Structures are given as structure tokens and as C-alpha cells.
Amino acid sequence: MLECITHLDITDCNRITDFGLASISARCTRIQNLNMSGLTRLTERGAELIMREPINGDPRGQDLESLNLTFCQSLGDKAIASFAPGLGNLATINLTGCTKVSDEGIKTLTECCACIQNLIISHCRLVTDRSMFLCSNEFWMEKLDISYCPRISDEGLGAVLKSSPGLIELNVSWCRKISDRTIAYITENNKSLRKLNVQAIEFITPEALDRLREANKLIEIMSGDPDMKHSKNDDGNNNNNEGEDTTSFDGESEEGSGGSPQSSGRGD
């Protein structure tokens, strides 16, 4: 039975340890979508079990397409180095809140997981423009979330925007080094962009966003301060969302965003 599971969601199953993950790795050989967000006891050893069976060392993860490690806060660059080499088909990875991840971890992903199209690294505050340059050289991006990454600037993000003209969704909220230059890059290069979050960025002006709306009639833009009573939606009208977190496009809070897969074996 377990061998047939392709979607597994064990979100917030805080009692699961590396031993439990070893059992999953030994029995679940065909997983395509794996959501382990909120597993606070997950260690580097547990992360390695994503791509290697614990007893015989048989490979795992060849079929894995989506991996969600949101707020697995003990994981960093070494953990990524332990599992990335076995995930050649990975298309989506969510590292939201993995605050130990730096440019070295992103470098490993670019070297081992060339199929990544959706990269969510919100709150990875150690990540810099170097990661953006690496991604621009190796990935064709469709979704990029770098919200709350204060070390990423127009220069690094611009490299991704130019190399991925098919980008569909971009979240740069609370990236304080982003400015109108990024909006100009988007206007020129990213005609397919449909969702853009630029909330809480003081160097992006309404005039630049108006020019973008004029060039791209289909784009949905979230701007302004999410903590204020009135923030602007895609048509420039005000939304009354006092105290509401609106940093996600899919109706979830930021901690739960990133396209985590639905499961045939969700953990409660």
C-alpha cells in the first residue's frame, strides 16, 4: 500500500523524528509531492533520507517533483547538499523560513536540480544577489518568492527577470533594496507576469506601477503597506484589510504559501 503513495503531506507532525522519516523512506518509493513543512525535529540526517533509503542505501527521490520544507528551521546548506544530488526531477522547492540557508545552499540546488521552475525562499535572510545570479544561469523560472530577503537588490533580481521572460508569479514584498529599476525590468522583459507582490517597498513608486499596468493589462499587483488599512490591488483601488496578512496570492497566510501539495496521506 505505502509503495503506491505519490503525494504525502505530514505538515506540522511535530513528533515525527528522523526515525519516522527512515520508515517513510524505506516504504514509500514513488513519492512525487512531499510536504514536510513545520517538522521542527527534522535534522540533516533526516533530510538525507529524502534521497537515500536508510538500510541498504537504495536511491530515493528520483520521482520527486515538489518538496515543501517550510519552517524546518534546523535545516541549512548542509541539509540541501545531502538531498539535492538525488532530486534531478525536482521542479518546486519551498524553503520558507529556513533561515540557515545561504547562497551556498542555493548554489547546490542550481548544480543538482536544474529542473526547478518554482523557487520559494521567503525569510531566507542570508541569501544575496549571488543566488539570483546563479539561478539566472541555471533555472527557467515560473514562480519566484524572495519576500523578506533584505540582501537581494535590483541587480540580482534583474538577472533572473532577464533570463526568465516566462515568469508568471513574483513576490518581492519587504525586499527593501528593490526599487523602480525592477519594475522597469519587468515592464521590458516579463510580458507573461500575472501576479506581482511589491508590498512594503518604499522605493517603488505608483508611477512605475502605472507604467507596468499600461504595458501589461493582465497583471495583478499587490502594493502598499500590508499593515495599513488601505492597500492597493491590481487596478489601483483600495482594499480594506486592516491587520490582514496579504502577502500570499492564493488566500493562505505567508507561512502556508508556496503551493504545498495536497496529499493522499495528510498527517494531523
pLDDT digits (tens, 9 = 90+) for 128-157: 999 999 999 999 999 999 999 999 999 999
Neighbouring residues of 95: CB distance < 8 A, sequence distance ≥ 6? 69, 70, 101, 105, 120, 121, 124
Is position 266 within any domain?
Answer: no
pLDDT of residue 113: 97
Residues for the chain: how many in total? 268
When mean pLDDT is compared across 4-18, 63-77, 98-112, 243-257, the lowest value belongs to 243-257
Q: pTM higher than 0.75, yes or no?
A: yes
In a domain, 170, yes or no: yes
Which CATH number goes with the domain that contains 195? 3.80.10.10
Tell me: the pLDDT tens digits for 88-104?
A: 999 999 999 999 999 99
Asked if residue 114 is part of any domain, the answer here is yes
pLDDT in tens, 247-261: 444 434 444 444 444
The answer to whether residue 175 is domain-embedded is: yes
Domain residue limits at 162:
65-247
> How far apart (Å, rounded) are the C-alpha atoms in residues 131 and 144?
12
Q: What does the alpha-carbon distance between residue 44 and residue 35 come to, in Å, rounded to a whole number?
A: 16
Place of cell 513519492: 31
* 4 inside domain: no
In a domain, 225, yes or no: yes
